[in-house]
Structure 1
Amino acid sequence: MSFFKKIVNKHTINLASSAAMPLIGMLVLSLLAHQLPDTDFGNYIFFLQTFLLADMFRTGFLQTSLVKFYSGAHIDRARNVAGSAWWVGFILTFGVALISWIIYFFIKSGNSDLEDTLKWFGIIYICTLPSAIAGWILQAEERFDKMFIIQIINQGGFLTLVLIGMYYKDINFDTVIYSYLGTNIITSVICLAMGWSHAHTIRHKSVAAMRELANFGKYSVGTSLGSTLLRSSDTFIIKMMFPTALVGVYYIPQRLMEIFEIPMRSFVSTALPELSAAAQRDDKPAVAEIMKRYGGLLTVLLLPVAVGACILGGLVIHLLFGDKFVDTDAFNIFRIFMCYVIIMPIDRFFGITLDILNKPHLNMMKVFLMLGINVIGDFAGIAIFHNLYGVAIASLFTYYSGVLFGYFTLKKHLDFTLNDLFSLGWSQLKAMVANLMQKRKVQKA
């Protein structure tokens, strides 16, 4: 077996899948930052944050619950769960789309860009349902290779349409929205045609399974909405308190945090089925070990990346987003973000472990505690500093409060310490390096 085949496994494929969307998305954002006027760019960021908030509502309601009840289930039970998820997805999706259309037809703001957002929002939201369900089912089945294909089609298609618009010198807020819509239609059609969304299971739905998904989802959706609001609250507050152009200035270092979200999503996606299986066996020591293994290793891996990003972030911003952001506060804000990025994996794994232990209400409490601290901190920071630094500094208090809440809450159910995460993470890293070096020696021999 070649060295290449040895390193290609569910972990590396999932990492590639998790990387595809943010990396290509970062390239698209870079192109739009160069090509769009500041106001159009700010409006696009506002649309994107608004859409992601609605998408997170649906994802939060269904993703964790579908993976939890689908993973390892008998084929009949799996069909029942998948079909019921489709029906719950229909209800949520068309409900949110209807609200957006009511606002569009009956509330006139005089802002043509906002009205365009509302006009296309519902259609885009409906078109993304099949690809969303396909991604959750594939995660539960640990088919990360197919998830990778979906990400490439979706983000690669969007990039292609944006490049076509640039080639014909017809790139503006409207054409970007149309490109976003077209890409998601193509992605969902492919997911349906390939059978990845399991649309045929719709006839196997049951009210009992829908209620089961909803009972779990009512807490996880609160957590997901709170998490999305936590990320987007800064954008909404900045848009309210500062000129629209500063939305883009702050969003750029926020988007650069995708560097750290790439491995985080991969680790969480891989760990979730393992945590779920251990929890179903009521094996709490195994749950604690999996949490420490994944969370600790990711923390150790991100530390040197954070240091390098703190040094080279300014160069990256210049290369990706152009000269107009060089003399802004974007780089220093990014440096402030590096002060808490090291504890983000711990915070994330504390949260999903609470979910898996059937304590989603506690995870929701943690997220809304962080949201409250962030909003209060944003306004306090703006009042003190009168600039974007106050908003960035508030994030430090936000994430450290989340880690403390998660730690003391989980300690009541699992036996572990914070030192366990760091020591096990370091041991895992040394073992990985030694194993990799041994494989290369064997291959050369």
Structure 2
Amino acid sequence: MEEKQKDHYWLKSGTINILQNFSGVFFGFAGFYVLVRVLSKHDFGVWTLFLSTTTILEAIRSGLIQNALIKYISSSDNREHPEIITASFAISGAVSLVTIAGILALAPFLSHIWDSPQLVGLLYAYIAIYIFSGLQAQFNAVEQANFRFNGIFATTIIKQGSFFCFVLVCYVFSLHVELIYLVWVQTFSAFLAAALAFRYAHKNLRWSEGISRGWAGKLFGYGKYAFGTLISSLLSSTIDQMMLGALLSPAASGAFNIAVRITNLIDIPGNAVATIVFPQSARRMETEGKSAIKYLYEKSVGTTLALVLPFVVFLYLFSDLVIHLIAGEKYNDSIPLLRITLLYCLLIPFGRQFGNILDSIGKTRLTFLVVIGSATLNLCLNYFFIRSIGVMGAAYATLCSNILGFIVAQVILKKEINTNILNTFVYMYRFYPEFLERYVIPFWKRKFVKGEK
């Protein structure tokens, strides 16, 4: 019975999270598909730089707060939850104020180095989005910590679906699109998502009368390294686009972003598995020890690889066709970029679960050091490679830094929890027959052999 409940949890949670990640990537990708057709190459490049910047700004807050909130709620007694939630919201508010001040100060500077005057207005308008998205992120984290994911799925649909509907209407009716209009629509979408997230999480939102210094210290102490890790990781994944904008042009950044957007589709299973594994690993570390964590890592990476490998092979073989269908012939320069980015897609599941597992066992400082080292290496390689060989240099630089980061991560995991990289490939191989035997064949027998409806 207990085994069936575990299977039900993983199947239900996995299905919801894959749907959530699929819908998020789908709407983001579909919106991108329309935007490359309604915006000029320059405007699309500016939009890419805007999104890269705001993604990092969101991570400043979420990295510092959300993982810590999820870890401590999922592994602590219910009586302590009000103090944890209150302290977390207090830290979130303080971080938001500092970040907003940073936006006001840095927007003109970023606009200057990227030669994009539009960015100032876009970033100032983004402040309202930042406030609403912060509330949504906190509500979603409380829900995730309680092993519920329905609200996260619903808010993703609302937030990204409404934005996609706007750009689709503009495309169908040939309406002129200014970049500032896109930010205004995102503001409205963020407000709706925050309201919906509160509706799902309010039953678990319990507050203390004051802010607990002890819990604030614990949350910040854990979160400061998780924050540094996430920021460094995002910088590592966006620095190529930012440096292309600074060293070459916004249009070059846009061309590289197209390849990244396509490979993001492959990341859906990895994001879903990571969302489920983190609260589970935090709880299992408390109850079962490192042997359970070892299994979680190897199993989750193997499962993710089994899901992404067919897509990587397909996209690599048909890169030119995919680029032409998605972005059009004016983005032919994205074809070789896509082929290189696909290669390091196979390393991403290892890296993502590496960070999740180490964070869940309290090794956030070690994760931070590894990721910041990888980000620094990526920055240096991008600078020299882009100056030497142009746009392709960004792809080669990111590939090299990912390979080196993968090697370092495996050495650390071997030492900390005695992982065996070969086991991940065993689980990957076993996934296909297990999936058929456990889900596909029983479903086929129920629906077609026995004639059940």
TM range (shorter): over 0.9
Matches for 1:41-52 after TM superposition, within 5 Å: 41-52=44-55
Partner of 1:256: 262
Cα gap change, 1:269 to 1:107, in 2 (>3 Å): closer
Letter of the structure 2 residue corresponding to residue 404 of structure 1: I
Q: Does 1:273 align with 2:276?
A: no
CA distance in 2, matches of 1:257, 1:413: 31
Q: Name the stretch that deviates more: 364-373 or 199-208.
A: 199-208
Residue by residue over 1:176-224, the C-alpha shift from the partner in whole angstroms, topping out at 9 and shown as x without a partner, is 1111112112211333355449665374642211111100011000000
Matches for 1:201-350 after TM superposition, within 5 Å: 201=207, 203=209, 205-281=211-287, 283-325=289-331, 328-350=332-354
CA distance in 1, matches of 2:140, 2:29: 21
Q: Does 1:367 align with 2:371?
A: yes
2:267–2:308 Cα contact (<8 Å) kept: no
Letter of the structure 2 residue corresponding to residue 47 of structure 1: F
Per the TM alignment, residue 416 of structure 1 is displaced from its structure 2 partner at its CA by 2.3
Partner of 1:155: 160
Per the TM alignment, residue 308 of structure 1 is displaced from its structure 2 partner at its CA by 0.5
Q: Unaligned 5+ residue runs, structure 2?
A: 1-7
CA distance in 2, matches of 1:108, 1:391: 21
What SS does the corresponding residue of 2:419 show, helix, strand or coil?
A: coil
Q: Does 1:141 align with 2:151?
A: no
- Within the candidate set 77, 80, 97, 2:80 is matched to 77
- Within the candidate set 429, 432, 435, 1:429 is matched to 432
CA distance in 2, matches of 1:361, 1:6: 31
- Within the candidate set 365, 381, 384, 2:385 is matched to 381
Residue by residue over 1:307-362, the C-alpha shift from the partner in whole angstroms, topping out at 9 and shown as x without a partner, is 0111223222222222321xx32111111112222121112112211111211111
Partner of 1:53: 56
What SS does the corresponding residue of 2:279 show, helix, strand or coil?
A: helix
1:86–1:202 Cα contact (<8 Å) kept: no
CA distance in 1, matches of 2:41, 2:202: 39
CA distance in 2, matches of 1:83, 1:65: 13
What SS does the corresponding residue of 2:415 show, helix, strand or coil?
A: coil
What SS does the corresponding residue of 1:264 show, helix, strand or coil?
A: helix
Per the TM alignment, residue 413 of structure 1 is displaced from its structure 2 partner at its CA by 1.7
Letter of the structure 2 residue corresponding to residue 85 of structure 1: S
Q: Name the stretch that deviates more: 71-80 or 248-257.
A: 71-80
What SS does the corresponding residue of 1:329 show, helix, strand or coil?
A: helix
CA distance in 2, matches of 1:66, 1:7: 22
Q: Name the stretch that deviates more: 134-143 or 89-98.
A: 134-143
TM-score, with structure 2 as normaliser: 0.91
Identical residues among aligned pairs (%)? 21
| Root mean square deviation, CA, Å | 2.4
Letter of the structure 2 residue corresponding to residue 334 of structure 1: L
Partner of 1:398: 401
Matches for 1:20-31 after TM superposition, within 5 Å: 20-31=23-34
CA distance in 2, matches of 1:241, 1:79: 49
Partner of 1:33: 36
Q: Name the stretch that deviates more: 100-109 or 316-325.
A: 100-109
CA distance in 1, matches of 2:384, 2:40: 31
Residue by residue over 1:128-181, the C-alpha shift from the partner in whole angstroms, topping out at 9 and shown as x without a partner, is 111111221221122122211111011011112323444471311111111111
CA distance in 1, matches of 2:201, 2:281: 27
2:151–2:200 Cα contact (<8 Å) kept: no
1:162–1:179 Cα contact (<8 Å) kept: no
CA distance in 2, matches of 1:122, 1:206: 28
Per the TM alignment, residue 281 of structure 1 is displaced from its structure 2 partner at its CA by 2.2
Partner of 2:4: none
CA distance in 2, matches of 1:197, 1:255: 36
Cα gap change, 1:23 to 1:437, in 2 (>3 Å): closer
Letter of the structure 2 residue corresponding to residue 373 of structure 1: L
Q: Does 1:87 align with 2:61?
A: no
Per the TM alignment, residue 116 of structure 1 is displaced from its structure 2 partner at its CA by 0.3
Cα gap change, 1:7 to 1:365, in 2 (>3 Å): closer
CA distance in 2, matches of 1:6, 1:352: 19
Letter of the structure 2 residue corresponding to residue 242 of structure 1: L
Per the TM alignment, residue 363 of structure 1 is displaced from its structure 2 partner at its CA by 0.9
**Equivalent pairs, count:** 438
CA distance in 2, matches of 1:371, 1:434: 42
Q: Name the stretch that deviates more: 79-88 or 231-240.
A: 79-88
1:94–1:126 Cα contact (<8 Å) kept: no
CA distance in 1, matches of 2:312, 2:207: 44
CA distance in 2, matches of 1:416, 1:67: 25
Q: Does 1:120 align with 2:125?
A: yes
CA distance in 2, matches of 1:201, 1:273: 21
1:16–1:148 Cα contact (<8 Å) kept: yes
